[in-house]
Chains A and B, each alone.
Chain A
Amino acid sequence: MSDRSYTYAVARIRALESGLFTTALIEQLLGVRTYEGCLRFLAEHGWGDADTPLEAGAMLERERQKAWGTVRELLKGDDEVLSVLLYRDLYHNLKAAIKKTRDPGKHTGRIYYEDCEIDGRQMEQIVADRDWQALPAHMRRAAQEAFETFCHTGDGQLCDMMLDRAALEAIGEAGEHSREPVIRDYAESMVAVADIKIAVRCHETGKSLEFLRRALAPCRSLSTDRLAAAALNGTDAICGYLEGTAYAGGAQALRESPSAFERWCDNRLIETMRPQKYHAFTAGPLVAYLLARENEIKTVRMILTARLNGLSEPQIRERIREMYV
């Protein structure tokens, strides 16, 4: 555990947690029948700022910025915790930069996360110069390999797979070496759930065993060999394997429906974070708050999209994530 004191930070997070959406509030939001009504409901509950337009994208982005801004401020100087949380964004920027460098006209608009260690402009420069040494150590080899593979094959999916695997490995390794239990739990849960998702998608798209083995990142709570073998044999085999692991809930959700499975993946991460509600002096509640906000924003986005597209009540409910508070 870190020697740093998180007493102030955790107390501040506790105060902020009282503003998180509870299941009851999500029910109230579900009760609002129109898209515009939902936006007004969010604005009434403090989403966005005074100058944020009453528009879903802007409001949700502002909420994400608020959550990250607060946690960044509270974790200032604590790179061990903060960097692990930013790995996904960092690798996303690398993927986007590699593809944009190869096909500049194809990828336009906002494709980068700007609030991470290496923003879009810097990443583009690194990829353009092939300056892999400018990247963090855990990215260098994977970046070079993915770039060369993409240049030779033009296969964006393969490039994504290589970098996704590298990102998961980096998260897993950071978790293993972390002194913070929350980072260990987060990394293990994150990698395991991502592996299960990869196995399911690879089965659906008929990928080979070799592809599966390259895509699955090692983790302590799952055997990637057995998961890969199960993915080749179909959904029942994946479920059969998962039922004997700590992820038995995933098997049940997978049998239910694809959206129930997606929901389980997010719920599983929130479940891992739930014990952090009872810690008063560690970085755990900060990480949990951030993930809870991400989960909340994702759920609200889902409801708004469903309202916009006129989805039925049961269809929406099937996609609603469990709330942290």
Chain B
Amino acid sequence: MSGVVFALLGVAIAAGLAGTGSAMGVGIAGQAAAGVVTEDPNKFAKVLLLQLLPGTQGIYGLLVGFIALSKIGLLGGGINWDMPVAEGLLYLMGCLPIGIVGLLSAIAQGKTSAASIGIVARKPEQFGKAMLFPAMVETYAILALLVSILAINAL
């Protein structure tokens, strides 16, 4: 079996899991945002920003996916269909951090964003502080992104 199969599996995990997590996170925060806007449409801009925060993991997954595809040669041409299985597995391993952490952190961030939207609903002047709570979750998605990029670039 060609190592390309494993490498592409890694790409699918990076983009797929992180994207799924973001979709779920944005969905959770979106429900809360809709609840607030139902009663107070003036808070639309503030709650929209909070809703968007869990969307970044999907972008990170996409970025790692692109880098991996580029390194494999699927984007620029010159793919080596006889890639060793071990090399393919290394791509897969490199993609795992952003895939797994992206999925879980986006869901957690969505819940935190929903809770922060509750703060904005009651005390809109505390928007800055409310932003910080979900932003803290982002740290771990960024760490996973860095590890994935460094690992794939090193191959």
Inter-subunit contact B121/A11 (CB<8 Å)? yes
CB of B36 within 8 A of chain A? yes
A11-B32 contact given A16-B39, A280-B111, A281-B114, CB 8 Å threshold = yes
CB of B28 within 8 A of chain A? yes
Inter-subunit contact B38/A5 (CB<8 Å)? no
A7 to B111, CA, bound (A): 9
CB of B83 within 8 A of chain A? no
Chain B contact residue count (CB 8 A cutoff): 19
Inter-subunit contact A8/B121 (CB<8 Å)? no
Inter-subunit contact B111/A15 (CB<8 Å)? no
* Most chain B C-beta atoms within 10 Å of own C-beta, residue among A5, A7, A16, A325: A7
Inter-subunit contact A7/B121 (CB<8 Å)? no
CB of A309 within 8 A of chain B? no
CB of A72 within 8 A of chain B? no
CB of B117 within 8 A of chain A? yes
Q: Mark B52-87, 1 if CB is under 8 A from A, else 0.
A: 000000000000000000000000000000000000
Query: Which positions 9-40 of chain B face chain A at CB distance < 8 Å?
Result: 28, 31-36, 38-40
Which A residues touch B40, using CB under 8 A?
15, 18
Which A residues touch B118, using CB under 8 A?
10-11, 14, 280
A55 to B123, CA, bound (A): 32
A10, A16, A17: the one contacting B32 at CB < 8 Å is A10
Inter-subunit contact B36/A15 (CB<8 Å)? yes
Which B residues touch A281, using CB under 8 A?
111, 114
Q: Mark A11-27, 1 if CB is under 8 A from B, else 0.
A: 11111111000000000
Interface size class of A (residues with CB under 8 A): 10 to 19
CB of B115 within 8 A of chain A? yes
A15, A18, A325: the one contacting B35 at CB < 8 Å is A15
Inter-subunit contact B111/A11 (CB<8 Å)? no
Q: Mark B111-126, 1 if CB is under 8 A from A, else 0.
A: 1001101100111000
Nearest B residue to A280, CB-CB: B115
A289 to B111, CA, bound (A): 21
Inter-subunit contact A280/B114 (CB<8 Å)? yes
CB of A196 within 8 A of chain B? no
Inter-subunit contact A7/B31 (CB<8 Å)? yes
CB of A212 within 8 A of chain B? no
Which B residues touch A11, using CB under 8 A?
31-36, 114, 117-118, 121
CB of A9 within 8 A of chain B? yes
Q: Mark A150-162, 1 if CB is under 8 A from B, else 0.
A: 0000000000000
Which B residues touch A15, using CB under 8 A?
35-36, 38-40, 43, 121-122
B151 nearest CB across to chain A (Å): 36
A19 to B123, CA, bound (A): 11
Inter-subunit contact A8/B122 (CB<8 Å)? no
A46 to B92, CA, bound (A): 60
Which B residues touch A14, using CB under 8 A?
35-36, 117-118, 121-122
B139 nearest CB across to chain A (Å): 21
Inter-subunit contact B35/A8 (CB<8 Å)? yes
A173 to B28, CA, bound (A): 33
B31, B33, B121: the one contacting A18 at CB < 8 Å is B121
List residues of B whose CB falls within 8 A of some A CB: 28, 31-36, 38-40, 43, 111, 114-115, 117-118, 121-123
List residues of A whose CB falls within 8 A of some B CB: 5, 7-18, 280-281, 325
For the complex with contacts A10-B32, A10-B35, 20 further pairs of A-B residues with Cβ separation under 8 Å are: A5-B31, A7-B114, A8-B31, A8-B34, A11-B32, A11-B33, A11-B34, A11-B36, A11-B114, A11-B117, A14-B36, A14-B117, A14-B122, A15-B36, A17-B121, A17-B122, A18-B121, A280-B32, A281-B114, A325-B122
Closest 8 CB pairs of A and B: A11-B35, A15-B39, A12-B35, A14-B121, A11-B32, A280-B115, A7-B31, A15-B121
What are 8 A-to-B residue pairs whose CB atoms are below 8 Å? A8-B31, A8-B34, A8-B35, A9-B35, A15-B43, A18-B40, A280-B114, A325-B122
